[in-house]
Protein backbone atom coordinates (compact mmCIF):
# COMPACT_ATOMS: atom_id res chain seq x y z
CA UNK A 1 0.00 0.00 0.00
CA UNK A 2 2.97 2.31 0.46
CA UNK A 3 2.52 5.86 1.77
CA UNK A 4 -1.20 5.87 0.94
CA UNK A 5 -1.81 2.82 3.11
CA UNK A 6 0.24 4.27 5.96
CA UNK A 7 -1.79 7.52 5.95
CA UNK A 8 -5.08 5.65 5.98
CA UNK A 9 -3.95 3.32 8.74
CA UNK A 10 -2.91 6.29 10.87
CA UNK A 11 -6.17 8.13 10.14
CA UNK A 12 -8.37 5.16 11.01
CA UNK A 13 -6.25 3.81 13.82
CA UNK A 14 -7.96 0.86 15.53
CA UNK A 15 -10.90 1.23 13.14
CA UNK A 16 -8.79 0.16 10.14
CA UNK A 17 -10.50 -3.03 8.86
CA UNK A 18 -8.46 -6.14 9.54
CA UNK A 19 -7.30 -7.88 6.36
CA UNK A 20 -8.49 -5.01 4.12
CA UNK A 21 -6.22 -3.28 1.62
CA UNK A 22 -6.82 -0.03 -0.31
CA UNK A 23 -4.74 0.29 -3.45
CA UNK A 24 -4.32 3.21 -5.81
CA UNK A 25 -3.73 2.49 -9.51
CA UNK A 26 -1.14 4.31 -11.57
CA UNK A 27 -2.48 6.32 -14.51
CA UNK A 28 -0.54 5.63 -17.71
CA UNK A 29 -1.77 8.82 -19.34
CA UNK A 30 -5.20 7.78 -20.58
CA UNK A 31 -6.31 4.92 -18.31
CA UNK A 32 -8.18 6.80 -15.56
CA UNK A 33 -11.48 5.46 -16.95
CA UNK A 34 -10.18 1.96 -16.14
CA UNK A 35 -8.88 2.97 -12.72
CA UNK A 36 -12.15 4.60 -11.64
CA UNK A 37 -14.11 1.40 -12.35
CA UNK A 38 -11.51 -1.12 -11.15
CA UNK A 39 -10.93 0.71 -7.87
CA UNK A 40 -14.39 -0.36 -6.77
CA UNK A 41 -12.70 -3.64 -5.83
CA UNK A 42 -9.79 -4.08 -3.44
CA UNK A 43 -8.52 -6.80 -5.78
CA UNK A 44 -8.53 -4.43 -8.75
CA UNK A 45 -4.75 -4.36 -9.11
CA UNK A 46 -4.80 -8.04 -10.06
CA UNK A 47 -7.58 -7.46 -12.63
CA UNK A 48 -5.67 -4.46 -13.98
CA UNK A 49 -2.56 -6.53 -14.59
CA UNK A 50 -4.50 -9.46 -16.07
CA UNK A 51 -6.22 -7.19 -18.57
CA UNK A 52 -2.82 -5.89 -19.60
CA UNK A 53 -3.44 -2.17 -19.20
CA UNK A 54 -0.24 -1.85 -17.19
CA UNK A 55 1.73 -2.42 -20.41
CA UNK A 56 0.10 0.34 -22.46
CA UNK A 57 2.50 3.16 -21.66
CA UNK A 58 3.47 3.35 -25.35
CA UNK A 59 -0.09 4.27 -26.36
CA UNK A 60 0.15 7.53 -24.40
CA UNK A 61 2.68 8.97 -26.85
CA UNK A 62 0.49 7.91 -29.77
CA UNK A 63 -2.60 9.43 -28.16
CA UNK A 64 -0.91 12.83 -27.90
CA UNK A 65 0.25 12.62 -31.53
CA UNK A 66 -2.82 14.57 -32.70
CA UNK A 67 -2.68 13.85 -36.48
CA UNK A 68 -2.31 10.12 -35.79
CA UNK A 69 -5.13 10.14 -33.24
CA UNK A 70 -7.53 12.03 -35.51
CA UNK A 71 -6.87 9.76 -38.49
CA UNK A 72 -7.21 6.65 -36.33
CA UNK A 73 -10.57 7.83 -34.98
CA UNK A 74 -11.70 8.70 -38.54
CA UNK A 75 -10.78 5.16 -39.60
CA UNK A 76 -12.70 3.76 -36.65
CA UNK A 77 -15.76 5.90 -37.40
CA UNK A 78 -15.76 4.87 -41.08
CA UNK A 79 -15.38 1.20 -40.14
CA UNK A 80 -18.39 1.39 -37.83
CA UNK A 81 -20.51 3.10 -40.50
CA UNK A 82 -19.75 0.30 -42.98
CA UNK A 83 -21.01 -2.32 -40.57
CA UNK A 84 -19.52 -4.86 -38.22
CA UNK A 85 -15.92 -4.44 -39.27
CA UNK A 86 -13.48 -7.18 -38.31
CA UNK A 87 -11.65 -6.40 -35.08
CA UNK A 88 -7.97 -5.65 -35.56
CA UNK A 89 -5.14 -3.72 -33.92
CA UNK A 90 -6.45 -0.43 -35.34
CA UNK A 91 -9.97 -0.88 -33.99
CA UNK A 92 -8.64 -2.04 -30.61
CA UNK A 93 -6.37 1.00 -30.34
CA UNK A 94 -9.25 3.29 -31.34
CA UNK A 95 -11.40 1.62 -28.67
CA UNK A 96 -8.77 2.50 -26.07
CA UNK A 97 -8.67 6.13 -27.27
CA UNK A 98 -12.48 6.58 -27.29
CA UNK A 99 -13.37 4.47 -24.20
CA UNK A 100 -15.15 6.06 -21.26
CA UNK A 101 -15.82 4.61 -17.82
CA UNK A 102 -19.34 3.38 -18.65
CA UNK A 103 -18.26 1.64 -21.85
CA UNK A 104 -15.33 0.06 -20.02
CA UNK A 105 -17.63 -1.19 -17.25
CA UNK A 106 -19.90 -2.85 -19.81
CA UNK A 107 -16.91 -4.32 -21.62
CA UNK A 108 -15.46 -5.65 -18.38
CA UNK A 109 -18.69 -7.28 -17.16
CA UNK A 110 -19.41 -8.86 -20.56
CA UNK A 111 -15.85 -10.18 -20.82
CA UNK A 112 -16.14 -11.71 -17.35
CA UNK A 113 -19.42 -13.37 -18.34
CA UNK A 114 -17.84 -14.76 -21.53
CA UNK A 115 -14.91 -16.22 -19.55
CA UNK A 116 -17.17 -17.82 -16.93
CA UNK A 117 -19.54 -19.25 -19.58
CA UNK A 118 -16.64 -20.75 -21.57
CA UNK A 119 -15.23 -22.34 -18.39
CA UNK A 120 -18.64 -23.75 -17.47
CA UNK A 121 -19.18 -25.19 -20.96
CA UNK A 122 -15.70 -26.72 -20.90
CA UNK A 123 -16.40 -28.39 -17.53
CA UNK A 124 -19.73 -29.66 -18.83
CA UNK A 125 -18.12 -31.05 -22.00
CA UNK A 126 -15.47 -32.86 -19.94
CA UNK A 127 -18.16 -34.36 -17.73
CA UNK A 128 -20.22 -35.54 -20.71
CA UNK A 129 -17.25 -37.20 -22.40
CA UNK A 130 -17.27 -40.10 -19.94
CA UNK A 131 -15.65 -43.50 -20.51
CA UNK A 132 -17.15 -45.91 -23.15
CA UNK A 133 -18.21 -48.44 -20.47
CA UNK A 134 -20.05 -45.72 -18.59
CA UNK A 135 -21.85 -44.65 -21.78
CA UNK A 136 -23.00 -48.23 -22.48
CA UNK A 137 -24.25 -48.84 -18.94
CA UNK A 138 -26.11 -45.56 -18.78
CA UNK A 139 -27.43 -45.67 -22.33
CA UNK A 140 -27.19 -42.89 -24.92
CA UNK A 141 -27.88 -39.34 -23.79
CA UNK A 142 -30.92 -37.79 -25.42
CA UNK A 143 -31.71 -34.15 -26.07
CA UNK A 144 -34.45 -32.20 -24.38
CA UNK A 145 -38.00 -33.26 -25.17
CA UNK A 146 -40.04 -31.34 -27.72
CA UNK A 147 -37.06 -29.23 -28.71
CA UNK A 148 -37.17 -27.23 -25.47
CA UNK A 149 -34.59 -24.46 -25.20
CA UNK A 150 -31.80 -24.88 -22.68
CA UNK A 151 -31.87 -22.49 -19.76
CA UNK A 152 -29.23 -19.75 -20.15
CA UNK A 153 -26.22 -20.11 -17.88
CA UNK A 154 -26.41 -17.85 -14.82
CA UNK A 155 -22.95 -16.80 -13.58
CA UNK A 156 -22.09 -14.99 -10.38
CA UNK A 157 -21.81 -11.81 -12.48
CA UNK A 158 -25.47 -12.25 -13.43
CA UNK A 159 -26.46 -13.01 -9.83
CA UNK A 160 -24.91 -9.76 -8.67
CA UNK A 161 -25.64 -7.30 -11.48
CA UNK A 162 -28.43 -8.65 -13.68
CA UNK A 163 -31.99 -7.39 -13.39
CA UNK A 164 -35.06 -7.88 -15.55
CA UNK A 165 -37.07 -5.21 -17.37
CA UNK A 166 -40.48 -5.67 -18.94
CA UNK A 167 -41.58 -3.56 -21.89
CA UNK A 168 -45.39 -3.28 -21.90
CA UNK A 169 -47.29 -2.01 -24.94
CA UNK A 170 -51.08 -1.53 -24.75
CA UNK A 171 -53.06 -1.24 -27.96
CA UNK A 172 -55.50 1.67 -27.60
CA UNK A 173 -58.03 -0.01 -29.89
CA UNK A 174 -58.40 -3.53 -28.47
CA UNK A 175 -56.66 -2.93 -25.08
CA UNK A 176 -54.41 -5.97 -25.61
CA UNK A 177 -51.16 -5.72 -23.65
CA UNK A 178 -47.99 -7.10 -25.22
CA UNK A 179 -45.11 -7.66 -22.78
CA UNK A 180 -41.49 -8.35 -23.65
CA UNK A 181 -38.83 -9.06 -21.03
CA UNK A 182 -35.16 -8.12 -21.35
CA UNK A 183 -32.21 -8.38 -18.99
CA UNK A 184 -29.93 -5.52 -17.98
CA UNK A 185 -26.63 -5.10 -16.17
CA UNK A 186 -27.08 -1.35 -15.68
CA UNK A 187 -29.75 1.31 -16.20
CA UNK A 188 -28.94 4.33 -18.40
CA UNK A 189 -31.07 7.29 -17.33
CA UNK A 190 -31.80 10.57 -19.11
CA UNK A 191 -31.19 13.51 -16.79
CA UNK A 192 -32.68 16.97 -16.34
CA UNK A 193 -31.46 20.09 -14.56
CA UNK A 194 -32.07 20.18 -10.80
CA UNK A 195 -33.52 16.69 -10.70
CA UNK A 196 -32.95 13.53 -8.66
CA UNK A 197 -32.37 9.84 -9.25
CA UNK A 198 -35.93 9.18 -8.10
CA UNK A 199 -37.41 11.55 -10.69
CA UNK A 200 -35.11 10.15 -13.41
CA UNK A 201 -36.33 6.64 -12.59
CA UNK A 202 -39.96 7.81 -12.78
CA UNK A 203 -39.29 9.31 -16.22
CA UNK A 204 -37.65 6.05 -17.26
CA UNK A 205 -40.89 4.22 -16.45
CA UNK A 206 -43.27 6.92 -17.71
CA UNK A 207 -45.93 6.10 -20.30
CA UNK A 208 -45.15 7.01 -23.92
CA UNK A 209 -47.87 7.30 -26.58
CA UNK A 210 -47.09 5.75 -29.96
CA UNK A 211 -48.92 7.51 -32.78
CA UNK A 212 -48.49 8.99 -36.26
CA UNK A 213 -45.35 7.43 -37.78
CA UNK A 214 -44.58 5.55 -34.56
CA UNK A 215 -47.76 3.46 -34.43
CA UNK A 216 -47.53 -0.04 -33.00
CA UNK A 217 -48.40 -3.14 -35.05
CA UNK A 218 -51.02 -5.00 -33.00
CA UNK A 219 -51.10 -8.74 -33.70
CA UNK A 220 -54.73 -8.97 -32.58
CA UNK A 221 -55.91 -6.07 -34.75
CA UNK A 222 -53.51 -7.13 -37.55
CA UNK A 223 -52.77 -3.49 -38.28
CA UNK A 224 -50.88 -0.43 -37.07
CA UNK A 225 -52.60 1.14 -34.09
CA UNK A 226 -52.02 3.91 -31.58
CA UNK A 227 -50.63 2.46 -28.37
CA UNK A 228 -49.13 3.30 -25.00
CA UNK A 229 -45.73 1.95 -24.01
CA UNK A 230 -43.91 1.85 -20.70
CA UNK A 231 -40.85 0.18 -19.22
CA UNK A 232 -40.93 -1.31 -15.72
CA UNK A 233 -38.42 -3.11 -13.56
CA UNK A 234 -39.70 -6.66 -13.23
CA UNK A 235 -36.87 -8.00 -11.12
CA UNK A 236 -34.38 -5.58 -9.47
CA UNK A 237 -30.74 -6.72 -9.31
CA UNK A 238 -28.73 -7.22 -6.14
CA UNK A 239 -26.24 -4.57 -7.30
CA UNK A 240 -28.02 -1.72 -9.08
CA UNK A 241 -25.71 0.20 -11.44
CA UNK A 242 -27.11 3.52 -12.66
CA UNK A 243 -25.47 5.33 -15.57
CA UNK A 244 -26.37 9.03 -15.85
CA UNK A 245 -26.46 10.13 -19.50
CA UNK A 246 -24.28 13.20 -19.09
CA UNK A 247 -23.06 13.20 -22.70
CA UNK A 248 -25.72 14.27 -25.21
CA UNK A 249 -25.47 14.76 -28.95
CA UNK A 250 -26.55 18.31 -29.90
CA UNK A 251 -27.81 18.53 -33.50
CA UNK A 252 -27.13 22.27 -33.81
CA UNK A 253 -23.52 21.82 -32.69
CA UNK A 254 -22.95 18.57 -34.57
CA UNK A 255 -21.16 17.09 -31.57
CA UNK A 256 -21.59 15.72 -28.07
CA UNK A 257 -21.86 18.04 -25.09
CA UNK A 258 -21.49 17.28 -21.40
CA UNK A 259 -24.58 18.05 -19.31
CA UNK A 260 -23.41 19.64 -16.07
CA UNK A 261 -26.88 19.24 -14.54
CA UNK A 262 -27.34 18.87 -10.81
CA UNK A 263 -28.78 15.39 -10.17
CA UNK A 264 -29.20 14.43 -6.53
CA UNK A 265 -28.40 10.80 -5.73
CA UNK A 266 -29.35 9.69 -2.21
CA UNK A 267 -27.31 7.49 0.07
CA UNK A 268 -30.41 5.33 0.54
CA UNK A 269 -32.64 4.66 -2.48
CA UNK A 270 -36.11 3.15 -2.75
CA UNK A 271 -37.18 1.66 -6.08
CA UNK A 272 -40.92 2.14 -6.38
CA UNK A 273 -41.32 1.60 -10.14
CA UNK A 274 -41.03 -2.17 -9.92
CA UNK A 275 -43.58 -4.92 -10.50
CA UNK A 276 -43.01 -6.30 -7.01
CA UNK A 277 -45.38 -5.50 -4.16
CA UNK A 278 -42.81 -3.95 -1.83
CA UNK A 279 -40.28 -1.22 -2.63
CA UNK A 280 -36.71 -2.40 -3.14
CA UNK A 281 -34.26 -0.61 -0.86
CA UNK A 282 -30.65 0.11 -1.81
CA UNK A 283 -27.59 1.70 -0.24
CA UNK A 284 -25.02 3.70 -2.21
CA UNK A 285 -21.52 2.24 -1.97
CA UNK A 286 -19.61 3.69 -4.92
CA UNK A 287 -19.63 6.56 -7.42
CA UNK A 288 -17.57 7.00 -10.58
CA UNK A 289 -17.06 10.73 -11.13
CA UNK A 290 -16.28 12.46 -14.43
CA UNK A 291 -14.08 15.53 -14.00
CA UNK A 292 -14.11 17.99 -16.91
CA UNK A 293 -16.38 20.26 -18.92
CA UNK A 294 -16.57 18.22 -22.12
CA UNK A 295 -16.97 14.64 -23.37
CA UNK A 296 -13.67 14.38 -25.24
CA UNK A 297 -11.37 15.32 -22.40
CA UNK A 298 -11.30 15.12 -18.64
CA UNK A 299 -10.51 12.70 -15.87
CA UNK A 300 -12.22 9.99 -13.82
CA UNK A 301 -12.08 9.46 -10.05
CA UNK A 302 -14.16 7.28 -7.75
CA UNK A 303 -15.72 7.38 -4.30
CA UNK A 304 -16.07 4.09 -2.43
CA UNK A 305 -17.72 3.24 0.87
CA UNK A 306 -15.84 0.50 2.70
CA UNK A 307 -16.46 -0.60 6.29
CA UNK A 308 -18.58 2.52 6.92
CA UNK A 309 -15.81 4.84 5.72
CA UNK A 310 -15.88 6.82 2.47
CA UNK A 311 -12.66 6.78 0.43
CA UNK A 312 -11.63 8.98 -2.49
CA UNK A 313 -9.62 7.27 -5.25
CA UNK A 314 -7.75 9.44 -7.76
CA UNK A 315 -5.50 7.03 -9.67
CA UNK A 316 -2.67 6.11 -7.28
CA UNK A 317 -3.86 8.51 -4.55
CA UNK A 318 -6.30 7.27 -1.92
CA UNK A 319 -7.65 9.33 0.96
CA UNK A 320 -10.49 9.18 3.48
CA UNK A 321 -13.31 11.70 3.11
CA UNK A 322 -16.36 12.67 5.12
CA UNK A 323 -19.71 11.33 3.95
CA UNK A 324 -20.94 14.90 3.37
CA UNK A 325 -18.38 15.30 0.57
CA UNK A 326 -20.41 12.91 -1.61
CA UNK A 327 -23.05 15.58 -2.24
CA UNK A 328 -20.48 17.90 -3.81
CA UNK A 329 -20.57 15.59 -6.84
CA UNK A 330 -24.30 16.02 -7.56
CA UNK A 331 -23.56 18.50 -10.36
CA UNK A 332 -24.08 22.19 -11.07
CA UNK A 333 -27.32 24.06 -10.39
CA UNK A 334 -26.39 26.58 -13.08
CA UNK A 335 -25.48 25.90 -16.72
CA UNK A 336 -22.10 27.59 -16.49
CA UNK A 337 -20.13 26.69 -13.40
CA UNK A 338 -16.56 26.20 -12.34
CA UNK A 339 -17.57 22.87 -10.76
CA UNK A 340 -16.95 20.14 -13.33
CA UNK A 341 -16.86 17.13 -10.97
CA UNK A 342 -20.07 15.19 -11.53
CA UNK A 343 -21.40 11.78 -10.53
CA UNK A 344 -21.50 9.61 -13.67
CA UNK A 345 -22.00 5.97 -12.61
CA UNK A 346 -23.68 5.06 -9.32
CA UNK A 347 -23.43 1.70 -7.55
CA UNK A 348 -26.19 0.69 -5.12
CA UNK A 349 -26.38 -2.54 -3.14
CA UNK A 350 -29.66 -4.11 -2.05
CA UNK A 351 -30.18 -3.90 1.70
CA UNK A 352 -33.20 -6.21 1.60
CA UNK A 353 -33.21 -9.99 1.36
CA UNK A 354 -35.68 -10.27 -1.50
CA UNK A 355 -33.20 -9.53 -4.28
CA UNK A 356 -30.43 -11.89 -3.27
CA UNK A 357 -30.09 -15.05 -5.30
Listed by start position, the domains of the chain span 20-78+86-117+156-162+186-206+236-350
Please state the rounded mean pLDDT for residues 126-147: 53
Q: Which of 102, 299, 307, 342 is labelled catalytic?
A: 299
Say if residue 197's pLDDT is above 70: yes
Question: What's the rounded mean pLDDT across residues 103-132?
Answer: 82
Q: Flag whether pLDDT at 330 surpasses 90.
A: yes
Top-confidence residue, 315 or 213: 213
Q: Residue 139 has what pLDDT?
A: 45
Q: Rounded distance, CA 141 to CA 139, Å?
A: 7
* Residue 18: per-residue pLDDT: 67
In the predicted structure, residue 132 carries a pLDDT above the cut 80: no
32 as an active site residue: the answer is: yes
> Is pLDDT at 135 greater than 80 in this prediction?
no
What is the C-alpha separation between 227 and 215, in angstroms, rounded? 7
What is the CATH number assigned to the segment(s) 20-78+86-117+156-162+186-206+236-350?
Answer: 3.90.70.10
Q: Which residue has the higher pLDDT, 251 or 127?
A: 251
Amino acid sequence: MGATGSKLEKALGDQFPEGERYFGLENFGNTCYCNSVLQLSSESTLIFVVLGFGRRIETVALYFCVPFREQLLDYYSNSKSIGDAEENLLTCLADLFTQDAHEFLNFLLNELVDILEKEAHAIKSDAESSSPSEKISNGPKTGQANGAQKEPLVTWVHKNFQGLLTNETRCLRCETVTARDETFLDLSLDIEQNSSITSCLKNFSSTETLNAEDKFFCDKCCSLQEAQKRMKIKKPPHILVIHLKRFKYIEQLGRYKKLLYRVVFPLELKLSNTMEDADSEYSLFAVVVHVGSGPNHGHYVSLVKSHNHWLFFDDENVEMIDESVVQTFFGSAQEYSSNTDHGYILFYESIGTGNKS
